[in-house]
Amino acid sequence: MLFPRPSIASAVALLASSALVQPVLAQVYTDCDPLLKKCPPNAALASDATFHFNSTPKASVWESRNQGEVKYSDENGASFIVARKGDAPTLRSRFYFFWGRVEIMMKTAHGKGMISSIMLVSDCRDEIDWEIRGIDKHDVLTNYFSKGVEDFTRGESHPVPGNLQTEWHNYTIEWTKDALDFYINSQKVRTLLPKDANNTQAYPQTPMQVSIGPWAAGHAGAAEGTKEWAGGEIDFNEGPFAMHIKSVQVTDYSKAREYVYGDKTGSWESIKMVEYVVPPHYLRPSN
């Protein structure tokens, strides 16, 4: 049986007694939930930018989160290392985009209990995911969540030619108000239409950040269903475990300076785009 990865809502319930709680929640943590109160605007990318992770990225553009080491090299780009209990190294963009395209070149981490993840996450916890289990060398998972609400019926598995852990593969998300498309090596593997996401209510539709990094879903303290989904309990003696990201390309389809939630509905129609008077001078296509 294929168990879905818990959303932030279920992570609290499933992992409340585990040392894994903080790393899992930190990947989808929001500083201010606009569904509950008025929050600061989201800084927009407003451009097309490619980030090569052969060296430490600018802290003003990518924020490093959670325990664990990230090494940078020409050969493997950013190597996210999970070596011990509690490690879940994560890079999250400081910028947001509102409808757009994300392409990531990745090699996944090995090992039962390990998950390599690419997540697009919003302040109100809309979420679009690629997740690859360390026990899988030829299959990847796609999933989505809306407003942090758990739903274990939305995940899908997709076969991939070649080895996910030793070969580079391109994982792409194309996200608009009309459709959400997933591509692997330029081949479309899944399309989600808003009408098929609870009549648009469960469709991810708020400004997103890019969050990348591995996590140990099979930690000894995790719920049994989560460990089973992840392929079993992780054995750190088989580590360290490493997920590699060569590059990230992000295209923001809007050209706004920032995004403002107009109300507490979390609907795309409520998002106000504050335009630039002059073109943006930050976030040029470089590290």
Q: Which residues are tagged catalytic?
A: 127, 131
CA 167 to chain centre: 20
CA separation for the pair 250, 190 (Å, rounded): 19
Q: Beta partners for 256?
A: 275
What is the C-alpha to C-alpha distance for residues 181 and 173, in angstroms, rounded to an integer? Answer: 6
Contacts of 134 (CB under 8 A, 6+ apart): 108, 109, 110, 111, 112, 113, 114, 115, 116, 230, 231, 241
Cα separation, 232 vs 255, in Å, equals: 45
Instruction: Tell me the CB-side half-sphere exposure of residue 215, using CA atoms within 13 A.
Output: 28
- Token pair for residue 68? 């664990």
Angle (CA) 114-180-228 rounded to 5° is: 25
Q: Measure CA of the first residue to CA of the last residue in the chain; give whole Å.
A: 42
| Residue 184 host element (H or E) | strand 180-184
Nearest to 66 by CA among 86, 85, 94: 86
b/e burial code for range 35-53 (CB count within 10 A of at least 16 → b): beeebeebbbbbbebebbb
Nearest residue to 100 via CA among 44, 61, 57:
44
